[in-house]
């Protein structure tokens, strides 16, 4: 029996169990009633899929166990899309309106959030570390929309991103405690490379990680992990990245690893790097090293310092040492395409480019 037929049969069996008010104990008998001639392997696969629908996140639960899937995208009732090995494709699973509503409830309930017209979106983290974003009516015209960025750090070795010469260069820069920002677009492997670079930090050093949603998994003996928090249902209790960064400076860090620079915390980061905190690692969304520096300057300005742009550029030039640009090839392979040294303001000096060997 084809995979699509198994998926369709799982939906049928699941619906029958819900109608009966039955649970996992009745799965086997219900399968036998609907498909008595299934082979042992197909019956086991079907039983597993029906069990997933009754627990966890229902029909999409198997995707959370697939190491090749990095993103799950639901654009309202209908087909579920996934990113597998860097390519977006239909999954073969479709959700009706009731199933999608139940899925949203199963996601938001454990994390203490609500989605309603007053705040029709929510960000959160699943128990496995995956990040989830939900957008509902009235903002989502055909929603709700659910996007799950799975916690899949498949490449935790710098060698997965390029040739040995590049690996040796980045390893040396980390060892020398250079301040490094990994730049690139969405889904190109910035966090994976950050994780790989952090593996080369001296095990005797105290490392403090700061993330909006905890993703990093560092094999290091002395790591202190901090995670930001959104406001609760009452609208209070938010903990911003800026708060965590300021606090981390009082925690005697040898290294600070900031998962992503995305807001006014850029000011605090630049200030920290200019006052002796070397060896920082972070990421930023940008299409080139020069764009990364310009975006960093814009984020510093968003903190409302009133400093002139030239002064901000000068501070960034003295605070940041290296920008590593990551991209995807047409085949979906993630690779480092450039390593540059920041010399002054937005000026850079190439140390390695993707064509070098």
C-alpha neighbours within 13 Å on the C-beta side of residue 82: 18
Beta strand 145-149 with 180-184 is: unpaired
Quote the tokens at residue 140. Answer: 């989502």
* Assigned architecture for domain 59-152: 2-Layer Sandwich (3.30)
155 pLDDT above the threshold of 60? no
What average pLDDT is seen over the chain? Answer: 88
232 pLDDT above the threshold of 70? no
156 pLDDT above the threshold of 80? no
- Among 2-11, 164-173, 242-251, name the one with the lowest average pLDDT: 2-11
Helix, strand, coil distribution of the chain in percent, nearest 5: 35, 25, 40
> What digits encode the pLDDT tens for the residues 196-219?
999 999 999 999 999 987 778 888
Task: Tell me what pLDDT residue 127 has.
Answer: 79
Contact of 198 with 254, CB cutoff 8 Å: no
> What digits encode the pLDDT tens for the residues 57-68?
878 988 988 888
Quote the tokens at residue 266. Answer: 């850029």
- Among 43-52, 245-254, 330-339, name the one with the lowest average pLDDT: 43-52
Contact of 292 with 305, CB cutoff 8 Å: no
Task: Tell me what pLDDT residue 284 has.
Answer: 97
DSSP 81-132: EEEETTEEEEEEEEE-HHHHHHHHHHHHTTTT---BTTB-EEEEE-TTS-EE
Task: Tell me what pLDDT residue 131 has.
Answer: 86
- The more confidently predicted of residues 85 and 141 is 141
- Please give the Cα distance from 5 to 127 (Å, whole number): 30
Task: Tell me what pLDDT residue 115 has.
Answer: 83
Task: Let me know how long the chain is.
Answer: 357
231 pLDDT above the threshold of 90? no
Quote the tokens at residue 183. Answer: 């730049």
pLDDT-derived band at 50 (thresholds 50, 70, 90) equals confident
The reply to whether domains 59-152 and 158-353 share a CATH topology is no
Beta strand 322-328 with 334-344 is: antiparallel
Quote the tokens at residue 208. Answer: 């403090």
Task: Tell me what pLDDT residue 11 has.
Answer: 77
DSSP 228-262: -B---TTS---B-HHHHHHHHTTS--SEEEES---
What values do phi and psi take at 74, rounded to 5? -120, 115
For the chain, the structural domain boundaries read 1-55, 59-152, 158-353
Task: Tell me what pLDDT residue 10 has.
Answer: 80
Provide the whole-model pTM. Answer: 0.73
Q: How far apart, in Å, are the Cα atoms of 313 and each of 245, 267, 286, 343, 346?
A: 21, 12, 17, 11, 7
Residue 155, class by beta-carbon neighbours within 10 Å (0-12 exposed, 13-18 middle, 19+ buried)?
middle
Residue 336 per-residue DSSP state: E
> Mean of the pLDDT values across residues 228-246?
80
- Please give the Cα distance from 68 to 82 (Å, whole number): 10
Collapsed DSSP state (helix, strand, coil) of residue 331:
coil
- The more confidently predicted of residues 332 and 194 is 194
Task: Tell me what pLDDT residue 197 has.
Answer: 96
pLDDT-derived band at 264 (thresholds 50, 70, 90) equals very high
154 pLDDT above the threshold of 60? no
> What digits encode the pLDDT tens for the residues 294-350?
999 999 999 887 888 889 999 999 999 999 999 988 877 889 999 999 987 678 999
256 Cβ partners below 8 Å, 6+ apart? 207, 208, 209, 210, 245, 248, 249, 272, 277, 279, 280, 281
211 Cβ partners below 8 Å, 6+ apart? 225, 226, 227, 228, 258, 259, 260
100 pLDDT above the threshold of 70? yes
174 pLDDT above the threshold of 70? yes
Q: What is the dihedral of CA 296, 302, 304, 310, to 10 degrees?
A: 40
Q: Looking at domain 158-353, what is its CATH homologous superfamily?
A: P-loop containing nucleotide triphosphate hydrolases (3.40.50.300)
77 pLDDT above the threshold of 90? yes
Tokens 């750090």 — which residue? 153
Task: Tell me what pLDDT residue 42 has.
Answer: 85
Task: Tell me what pLDDT residue 124 has.
Answer: 82
Collapsed DSSP state (helix, strand, coil) of residue 223:
strand
């Amino acid at each position: 029996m084809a995979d699509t037929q198994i998926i369709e049969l799982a939906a049928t069996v699941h619906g029958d169990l819900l109608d009966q008010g039955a649970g996992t104990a009745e799965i086997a008998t219900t399968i036998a009633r609907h498909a008595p001639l299934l082979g042992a392997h197909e019956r086991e696969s079907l039983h597993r899929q029906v069990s997933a629908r009754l627990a966890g996140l229902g029909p999409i639960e198997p995707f959370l166990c697939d190491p090749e899937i990095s993103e799950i995208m639901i654009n309202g009732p209908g087909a579920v899309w996934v990113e597998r090995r860097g390519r977006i494709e239909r999954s073969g699973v479709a959700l009706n309106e009731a199933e999608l509503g139940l899925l949203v409830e199963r996601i938001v309930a454990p994390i203490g959030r609500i989605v309603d017209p007053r705040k029709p979106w929510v960000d959160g983290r699943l128990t496995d570390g995956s990040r989830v974003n939900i957008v509902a009516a009235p903002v989502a015209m055909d929603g709700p929309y659910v996007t799950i960025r799975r916690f899949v750090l498949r490449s935790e070795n710098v060698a997965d991103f390029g040739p040995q010469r590049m690996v040796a260069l980045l390893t040396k820069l980390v060892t020398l405690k250079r301040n490094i920002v990994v730049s690139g677009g969405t889904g190109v492997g910035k966090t994976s490379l950050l994780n790989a670079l952090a593996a080369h930090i001296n095990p005797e050093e105290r490392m403090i990680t700061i993330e909006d949603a905890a993703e990093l998994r560092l094999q290091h003996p002395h790591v202190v992990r901090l995670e930001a928090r959104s406001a609760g249902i009452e609208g209070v209790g938010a903990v911003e990245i800026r708060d965590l960064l300021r606090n981390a400076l009082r925690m005697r860090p040898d290294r600070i690893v900031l998962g992503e620079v995305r807001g006014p915390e850029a000011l605090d980061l630049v200030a920290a790097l200019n006052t002796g905190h070397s060896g920082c690692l972070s990421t930023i969304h940008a299409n080139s090293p020069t764009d990364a520096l310009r975006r960093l300057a814009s984020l510093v300005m968003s903190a409302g310092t009133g400093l002139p742009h030239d002064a901000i550029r000068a501070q960034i030039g003295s605070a940041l040492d290296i920008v590593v640009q990551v991209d995807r090839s047409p085949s979906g392979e993630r690779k480092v395409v450039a390593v540059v040294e920041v010399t002054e303001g937005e000026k850079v000096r190439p140390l390695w480019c993707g064509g070098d060997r």
